[in-house]
Each structure stands twice: as C-alpha cells, then as structure tokens.
Amino acid sequence: MTTTRGIDFAHLSLKDALDLAVLVEEEAQERYDEFTHQMKTHDTPEAASFFAFMSRNEKKHGDELRARRLELFGDAPRSVERAMIFDIEAPDYDQARAFMSARQALTAALASETKAHAFFVAALPAIQDPKVKALFAELRDEEIEHQKLVQAELAKLPPSEDLGDAFADEPVAH
Amino acid sequence: MSNALPVVDKKFEPKDFKSDLKPIWCPGCGDFGVLQSLYRALAAIGRPAHEIAFVSGIGCSSRIPGYTTAYGFNTVHGRALPIAQGIKIANPSLLVLCAGGDGDGFSIGGGHVAHAVRRNIDLTYIVMDNQIYGLTKGQLSPTSPRGLKTVTSSLGSLEDPVNPLLYVLGYGASFVAQGTAADLPGLAAIIEEGIRFPGFAFINVQSPCVTYGEDEWQIKEQRARMKSLESLGHDPKDQLHAMDLARAYGKELYTGVFYRNPAPSPTYDQLVLERQKEKGASAPDPARVLDSLIQR
Ligand SMILES: Cc1ncc(C[n+]2csc(CCOP(=O)(O)OP(=O)(O)O)c2C)c(N)n1
Ligand code: SF4
Ligand SMILES: [Mg+2]
C-alpha cells in the first residue's frame, strides 16, 4: 500500500525530488533482496532468481539517479528521508508466498511497477517547479518501461502452472 | 566524492535497527510488516540500540527481537512480561519493549498481563495477534474465533475468544491501541506513541498468519475492513467509549488508540527508584542481609 508522510509536493525542489526518487529505488531494491532471501530460505528457487534480477534492476536505476543528484547538487544536505515513503515501488510483503511460481513472482513485480506509476501520476498535478515536473514525468514514463520489461518476461513463460494454495505444502525455512 | 547520498541531519534511520539476522517467517507473514513499522518507530524515537532491551516469549512472533539491533532476549513461552519487568526495574534507564503472540500473551502468559497493567510499569507490550498458534503448526489460540476448525478443533471451536483489548482495559490499562500489518505507516505511528507513553502501553497488532490463519483476516481483507478510531471521532480520553468500541474485537477492525489516560499513575519503576533513594541510606550492608534472615 503506497503511502507518503510529510512530503510537500507543491514545494519539492529538484534536489529533494531526485533524493526521493533514489530512496524509492533503494526501498524497492531492499524489498526484492528480502524476497530473494525469503524464497531461497523456503525452497522457491525460480522466484528467488527473478526477485534477485529485479533487485539488480532497481539498483541500476538507483545508481543512475544517485549519480545525477551528485553531479547537480554534490553533497548538499538531504532533506527527505526514508521514513517519508512507504512501499512506493517495493512490492507489499503479502505478495510473497512460499513455493510461488515464476508467474506469480512476475505478477507481483508487475503490480509494484503499476503502483509506482500510479504514485508519480498522482503526485504530478501538485508539483509546481517545472524541472521537478519534468523529472516526475520522466520517472512516470520509466515505470511504463519497467512494466513492459516484466510483461516481456511474463510472455516468455509457459502457460499458468499454478495449482493454487490447496495443493501447497506448509512452508519450512532452511 | 563518494557515491553515497549525503545523510539527513537526523540521528537514526530505520536501517540502524535492522540486524544482520534475516527473518525465517513464512513469506507473506504479517510479522514482516510489524518489524518494518517497529524499525521506523525506533528511528523516530531516536534512542540508540544499546539503550533498548527487547524481550519476547516463544512463538513465530517472538523471534522479532533477533531481527533488531537492540539487546534481545527470546525467553520462555508466556514469560516475556515478568522478565521484561525485571529488566526495567534493574535498569530503569533502558527503553524496554516486549513482544509475542496471542498464545504467548493470553494463554500461558495471560496471568502476567494483569500485574504489568496494575503496576503501570514503563514498557511497551506488542502482541502480534494472528488468532492461532503459528509456530506449533496451527492449533487453536485464545483469540481464535468460535467455530474455527484447526488441528485441535476438527469439528470447530466451542469457545468464545479472549478479547485482548477489553482484557487490558478491564484491568485499568492506561494506554491501549490496535494496529494492523495492513497499514504500516499507521502501525509505526501507534508503536511510536506507545513507546512515548509514560507507563505500560499495550498494542494489539492484527498480524495474519498466511499459513494457518483464516482467509478473512489476511492483509488484503484487513485493508478492506480497517477503520481508524480517529475517523470515527473517538476521543482516546474517553475510557467508557473505548470499552464500548473494544467490544467489537473480532468483528470490526478498529485501528488507533482506544484509550490514553490523560493522568496516568506513577510508574512502578519510578516508585521503586524513589523507594531505593529514600531507604538507601539506612539499608543494611548487603553482605549482612542473609545474616538478618538466618537464625543461628
Ligand atoms: C512451556 C511451553 N509450552 C508450550 C510450548 C509450545 N509452544 C511454542 S510456541 C506456542 C504457541 C505459539 O503461538 P503464539 O504465541 O500465538 O505465537 P505465534 O507462533 O502465533 O506467533 C506453543 C504452544 C513451549 N514452547 N513452551
Ligand atoms: S506459521 Fe504463520 S505466524 Fe508463523 S511465520 Fe508462518 S505465517 Fe507467520
Ligand atoms: Mg499466534
């Protein structure tokens, strides 16, 4: 469930907007790392390797944004922080399941990219600074690209092999 | 120039409270969200991890202290509260947190709750309520609803559940709240408020068990049914209204603070400290205490 706390979108500076975008990617990367570990611990290797792939993607996006921020603003203090964002691009914890199929893992990631897109769409009207507006529009459009990437991976999968929860074993951590 | 972002001028970030130990809860378990909210609450409180003692009982939920950088003690089933109280009295300057499951807190450990409440000892007790014994693979718990079919109630439970909110309100608790793993920002705010409360703070958290829990209490379903007490116009100073609302436990999912005593009684740890100061000067030599008890 995407939420923000204490962000004044109307007065967001470009530096704050870039920092926010980095934090969003960091949060998503961390969550995918957690999911990767959860899947490895619970004998779900296919989903684990897909979540690891998503983590690498989020890291790449984060690094690009971080480099831009440092180039433009150097080490000027940051005034936005992680506590201001909740699950913007990070998949919700309840999306993970032991023995989830690759299709379910990809569907969870797609839902997160859709959620992130909705976040930028919703924030845009309040933003006043034209440079921030342009950045948010760029990030919104990138989310569409990310969705396409996941959709392309989904298309490569064989038709649904999900048997539903009724056939699932109880999870056991290793 | 390093490739890291400059830090915010703030003492702590949630990650400062995250330990290297990785949770082994079932993927999808509500307890993951509780842990995230706790990291955020602790960052907002701003006490370093070494000033925090985190005590739990036994159960899936009771693993939580190990996933934080605080001093943790995963104790004995049902005995988290006595041990947490001992720690608080021995070292009152510590911030003491206590956590566990519905079974831990309201079955085997149920008798201890009343005494922590009546002492108004300054600690925060978080019950991760999933209406089931998760760790032992899905037996009835004290908060399981009547009719629930489990491995120990194959024909359906014949008992009404304990109502944790009314239970502690009935004993006179000064801070009683409920949160859910379906609303992490809301839960973080409630935990923070509980920690700041000067006295015993009880927080019931609806934290669903994806493996043995009921379908209608999973995150998605909770998100659809949760209602904040604030949106209902509830005044947390109104103890009677709090009790009235708490009666809906198991039917409605109210979140927020049910009751916050505007004038709580002094905390037990404070009173003990005062008594020690008062009597300290005339106290017998500790080495001679045994002598005074033994008749030779
Ligand atoms: C003295 C004692 N009795 C029984 C047990 C077995 N036992 C371990 S955890 C547990 C109940 C767990 O349920 P809960 O407290 O609700 O925690 P959850 O696993 O659901 O988070 C029981 C009965 C034990 N460890 N010690
Ligand atoms: S058994 Fe239930 S409570 Fe325990 S870790 Fe799994 S989902 Fe969570
Ligand atoms: Mg339980």
ipTM above 0.85, yes or no: yes
Mean pLDDT within B21-43: 97
Cα atoms in the 13 Å half-sphere on the side-chain side of B165:
29
Name the residue facing B5 among A34, A78, A170 (closest C-beta).
Answer: A78
Q: Is A168 exposed, middle or buried (0-12, 13-18, 19+ CB in 10 A)?
A: middle
B19 touching chain A per CB within 8 A: no
Evaluate whether residue A145 is within a structural domain. Answer: yes
DSSP states of B21-75: SPP-SPTT-THHHHHHHHHHHHHHHT--GGGEEEEE-SSSGGGGGGGBSSEEEE-
Ligand 3 mean position, distance from CA B141 (Å):
7
Q: Which residue has the tokens 């920690």?
A: B195
| Chain A residues 104-163 with CB within 8 Å of chain B | none
pLDDT for A169 equals: 72
Name the residue facing B27 among A22, A42, A81 (closest C-beta).
Answer: A42
Separation CA A60–CA B18 (nearest Å): 24
B8: pLDDT strictly greater than 60? no
B1: pLDDT strictly greater than 60? no
Domain tally for chain B? 1
- CB of B157 closer than 6 angstroms to any ligand 1 atom: no
The predicted model scores a pTM of: 0.93
Q: Which residues pair with B257 in a beta bridge?
A: B177
| Residue B54 structural domain | 14-293
Ligand 1 mean position, distance from CA A166 (Å):
25
Query: CA nearest B175: which of B99, B262, B77?
Result: B262
Evaluate whether residue B194 is within a structural domain. Answer: yes
Evaluate whether residue B6 is within a structural domain. Answer: no
Evaluate whether residue A5 is within a structural domain. Answer: no
Ligand showing the shortest atom-to-Cα distance for residue B209? 2
pLDDT (tens digit per residue) in B260-291: 999 999 999 999 999 999 988 777 777 777 78
A93 touching chain B per CB within 8 A: yes
Evaluate whether residue A162 is within a structural domain. Answer: no
Evaluate whether residue B8 is within a structural domain. Answer: no
Mean pLDDT within B19-27: 97
Tokens of B101: 């499951």
pLDDT (tens digit per residue) in B67-89: 999 999 999 999 999 999 999 99
H or E element that contains A76: none
Evaluate whether residue B116 is within a structural domain. Answer: yes
Contacts of B252 by beta carbon, 8 Å cutoff, 6+ apart: B225, B227
Tell me the helices (H) and strands (E) count for chain A, helix number first. Answer: 4, 2
| Residues in A touching B3 (Cβ below 8 Å) | 63, 66-67, 70
Q: C-alpha B151: how far from its chain's center?
A: 27
Domain tally for chain A? 1
What average pLDDT does the structure give for chain B?
A: 94
Q: Are B3 and A70 an interchain contact pair (Cβ–Cβ within 8 Å)?
A: yes
Evaluate whether residue A50 is within a structural domain. Answer: yes
B219 touching chain A per CB within 8 A: yes
Looking at chain B, which residue has its C-alpha nearest residue A5? B185
Q: The domain spanning residue A70 has which CATH number?
A: 1.20.1260.10
Evaluate whether residue A3 is within a structural domain. Answer: no
pLDDT for B2 equals: 43
Return phi, psi of residue A90, to 5°.
Answer: -80, 135
Ligand 1 mean position, distance from CA B137 (Å):
10
Cα atoms in the 13 Å half-sphere on the side-chain side of A1:
16
| Residues in A touching B33 (Cβ below 8 Å) | 93-94
Evaluate whether residue B250 is within a structural domain. Answer: yes
Evaluate whether residue A172 is within a structural domain. Answer: no
- CB of B60 closer than 6 angstroms to any ligand 1 atom: yes
Q: Which of A148-157, B127-136, B174-183, B202-211 has the weakest average pLDDT?
A: A148-157
pLDDT (tens digit per residue) in B215-264: 999 999 999 999 999 999 999 999 999 999 999 999 999 999 999 999 99
Query: If DSSP codes are grouped into helix, strand and coil, which group holds residue A42?
Result: coil
- CB of B103 closer than 6 angstroms to any ligand 1 atom: yes
Evaluate whether residue A166 is within a structural domain. Answer: no
Evaluate whether residue B4 is within a structural domain. Answer: no
pLDDT for A7 equals: 86
| Residues in B touching A1 (Cβ below 8 Å) | 182-184, 223
Ligand 1 mean position, distance from CA B37 (Å):
23
| Residue A128 structural domain | 11-77+96-156
Q: The domain spanning residue B201 has which CATH number?
A: 3.40.50.970
Ligand showing the shortest atom-to-Cα distance for residue B24? 2
Name the residue facing B33 among A41, A63, A93 (closest C-beta).
Answer: A93
DSSP states of A77-111: PB---GGGEESSSSPPGGG--TT--HHHHHHHHHH
Return phi, psi of residue A3, to 5°.
Answer: -150, 150
The minimum CA-CA distance between B180 and chain A, rounded to whole Å, is 13
Q: Are B5 and A66 an interchain contact pair (Cβ–Cβ within 8 Å)?
A: yes
Ligand 2 mean position, distance from CA A163 (Å):
21
Query: CA nearest A21: which of A89, A93, A83?
Result: A89
B46 touching chain A per CB within 8 A: no
Which residue has its alpha carbon closest to ligand 1 atom 26? B77
Q: Are B44 and A75 an interchain contact pair (Cβ–Cβ within 8 Å)?
A: no
Q: Tens-digit pLDDT profile for chain A (174 aa)?
A: 777 878 889 999 999 999 999 999 999 999 999 999 999 999 999 999 999 999 999 999 999 999 999 999 999 998 898 888 999 999 999 999 999 999 999 999 999 999 999 999 999 999 999 999 999 999 999 999 999 999 999 999 887 655 555 556 788 887
